[in-house]
Amino acid sequence: MSNSKKLKAKELYLQTGLSKTQIAGILGISRRCLHYWIRQDNWIRLKQSAEHMPSLMAEKCYYLFHHLTDNYLADYRAKHLTRENIETLYRLTLTIKNLKNRTTINESMEMFALFQDGLQKHNPELAKAITPYVEKYLTNRSSVSAYHLTPGNFTKDAFVEPPEENI
């Protein structure tokens, strides 16, 4: 099976709403072959990461920022903001900025697919040679989880650890 068909199948699977049957029909391959490629290179995880990761993280960060700010402002009448309060807001702001500046896995896949299509026309051997590196890069990008982007003083569920009170 040609590598260009696999790349095209991946592009259709990740960037369209076509069914597996439709994709197999368009490319003239068996559904079994397409399922093998999907399992072999973990396209399901890539698709889920591309669709949800940046938007879910940004949404959660904005939610946290809003509620922390409200709580800090409500408490401000009784006491002054602490350095820890300000640092938490600052780190959350940096996380939001990183999410907004970071290209999504979907954008990376689209860029590489276009690049490889063009390269395939001009230098098929080079396109074939770089494909494993592109696959590895995209797989590594898709393995980034919400935990990797959460500031250090947040729990794995992206909540700020409550400060210990001295009694």
Instruction: Kindly write down the DSSP assignment for every residue of 14-73, as one continuous string.
Output: HHS---HHHHHHHHT--HHHHHHHHHHTTHHHHHHHHHHHHHHHHHHHHHHHHHHHHHHH
Structure tokens at 34: 């397409």
Q: Which residues contact 159 (CB under 8 A, 6 or more apart)?
A: 64
The answer on pLDDT for 149 being more than 50 is: no
Tens digit of each residue's pLDDT (9 = 90 or more) over 16-52:
778 899 999 999 999 999 999 998 888 887 776 665 5
pLDDT tier at 153 (50, 70, 90 boundaries)?
low
- For the entire predicted model, the pTM comes to 0.38
Dihedral (CA of 36, 41, 45, 51) sign: negative
Tens digit of each residue's pLDDT (9 = 90 or more) over 81-134:
788 888 888 888 877 776 665 556 666 777 888 888 889 899 999 988 998 888
- Give the residue extent of every domain in the chain: 1-40, 53-158
Which amino acid is it at 163? P
The answer on pLDDT for 155 being more than 70 is: no
Percent of the chain with pLDDT over 90: 14
